[in-house]
Amino acid sequence: MTSNHTIRRKQRRNYRKKKRSKKLFKISLSLSLIIVILLLIFVVFPKVGLYAYMFDKGDYKYNDDSTSDIIKDLEELSPKTRELAIKFLEKCEENGLSVRITETYRTQKRQDMLYEQGRTTPGQVVTWTRNSKHTLRRAFDICEDNTDDPYGDLEFFRKCAEIGKEVGLTPGYYFSGAIDMPHYEFNAWWLP
């Protein structure tokens, strides 16, 4: 009788171990699946530009690299960047700041040309990257309007930077390293 009882006890113990093991497996599988989903949502999809494609795209006049012209049209910015740029301009006007947009969208051809300036072609270095937010339609540059020195008033750029930050833009005024006072860009976790 005792051997029968011992066998049943061992069987129950084994059954409980298997049950616990299955439960742990299901939990670890669920956690793994959750981690994969979170990685997709917060890392992979933004990196490949899925959210930008789905939620922040528009119809544009310039859709290729056929020009190296300076483009100043707000309509060439992504919809969300355009919305923030308009808020920025309105707030600047309310605060008595006379702002002029000097560039919005930049073709890759123009970006490459600007990058070469001061490196392999004559002129002053004006950009430190070939991968600008301008080429993604999420950046614009400004200067002070109605003045003889559109880039000389540091207080003007400081006030504009405060307004830019307030409306949800990232002002180049606050960049660490290479400060870019005229530059404003739209950054969001869901954008590459």
DSSP 8-state assignment for residue 171? E
In a domain, 88, yes or no: yes
88 and 133 housed in the same domain: yes
Give the predicted TM-score (pTM) of the model: 0.78
Question: Which residue type does 51 have?
Answer: Y
Rounded mean pLDDT of 131-160?
96
In a domain, 9, yes or no: yes
Q: Which helix (H) or strand (E) holds 139?
A: strand 139-144
111 and 168 housed in the same domain: yes
In a domain, 163, yes or no: yes
Percentage of residues in the chain having pLDDT higher than 90: 62
Rounded mean pLDDT of 39-67?
81
Report the C-alpha gap between 60 and 152 in whole angstroms: 33
Rounded mean pLDDT of 67-79?
94
Report whether pLDDT(189) > 80: no
Give residue 66's pLDDT band: very low, low, confident or very high (50, 70, 90).
confident
93 and 169 housed in the same domain: yes
Helices (H), the chain: 2-39, 45-48, 50-55, 79-94, 108-116, 154-167
12 and 90 housed in the same domain: no
The mean predicted confidence, pLDDT, of the chain is 90
27 and 116 housed in the same domain: no
CATH code for the domain of 127: 3.30.1380.10
Three-state SS at 143: strand
Neighbours of 15 (CB within 10 A): 10
Contact 171, 160 (CB under 8 A): yes
122 and 180 housed in the same domain: yes
How many separate domains does the chain show?
2
In a domain, 61, yes or no: no
Rounded mean pLDDT of 150-161?
97
In a domain, 10, yes or no: yes
Report whether pLDDT(1) > 70: no
Report the C-alpha gap between 138 and 44 in whole angstroms: 20
39 and 78 housed in the same domain: no
In a domain, 64, yes or no: no
Higher pLDDT among residues 13 and 165, named by residue: 165
171 and 104 housed in the same domain: yes
Range of the domain at 36: 2-48
